[in-house]
Amino acid sequence: MQATGLPICSFMMGLLNDCPLATDPRGPAWLTQCIDAAKDLGVANILVAFFGKGDLQSDKQVKEAEFASAVKRLKEAAPRAKDAGVTLSVENMLSAEQNLRLLDAVSHEAVSLYYDVYNTGKSQKYDSPAEIRLLKGRITQIHYKNGPKYLDEDKPYFEAVTAAIQDIRYSGWIVLETSSPSKDGVADARRNGDFVRALFA
């Protein structure tokens, strides 16, 4: 960061997908260490992942015990995050209504959502534009991805998603979590980046 001047808009602990925050006894300490590292690096946003073994739902139904534990542990970590100037941005496979329930249960300004338009609209078949509008003011960061394809190969979908993002006046990062169909990572990143910039132009 010092050498290039490039910011880190967020980072995450991918291990939480195999060692879930909600159920692994080591989870709270890992999250605390992550908050402290974010403060040291000047990173304002931590993606707190709930996928794989950490998924908070099954067949779109909330796993109530894991959900309650996740709420408890996020609530405990939130004051430290606030003091560090860090937001804990939860990313998961829950619906907008389920995520609002989660956020309302935690009830802390340092806990928000990291919204992934592929996980919601493609994997879960939720109405992503409607969800984004429902979650106005609760989204800290957004992922654009499109599986193994280029983003512009699904242009109507991303146009609808972008319109919803503009409607809620979101002004944060759009983070590309994209593949490289051509195996030329730089060229493919440029193509996806140019497409997203054009959507918001």
State mean pLDDT over 67-95.
Answer: 98
Residue 199 neighbours by CB under 8 Å, 6+ apart:
158, 159, 162
The encoded tokens of residue 160 equal 């609808």
Residue 164 lies in a domain: yes
| Tens-digit pLDDT profile for residues 114-153 | 999 999 999 999 999 999 999 999 999 999 999 999 999 9
Label residue 196 by pLDDT band (50, 70, 90): very high
Is 13 a residue whose pLDDT tops 90? no
Q: Residue 136 belongs to what domain range? A: 11-200
Give the integer Cα–Cα distance in Å for 110 and 107: 9
CB 35 within 8 A of CB 46: yes
Out of 4-13, 66-75, 147-156, 181-190, least confident range = 4-13
Residue 36 neighbours by CB under 8 Å, 6+ apart:
84
Give the integer Cα–Cα distance in Å for 91 and 113: 6
Label residue 1 by pLDDT band (50, 70, 90): confident
Instruction: Tally the domains of the chain.
Output: 1
Residue tagged 């006894």 (tokens)? 25
| Tens-digit pLDDT profile for residues 36-61 | 999 999 999 999 999 999 999 999 99
Residue 137 lies in a domain: yes
In the beta sheet, which residues pair with residue 45?
A: 87
pLDDT computed for residue 14 by the predictor: 86
Residue 4 lies in a domain: no
Residue 166 lies in a domain: yes
Residue 143 lies in a domain: yes
Average pLDDT, the chain: 96
Element (H, E) at 49: strand 45-49
CATH number, domain with residue 116: 3.20.20.150
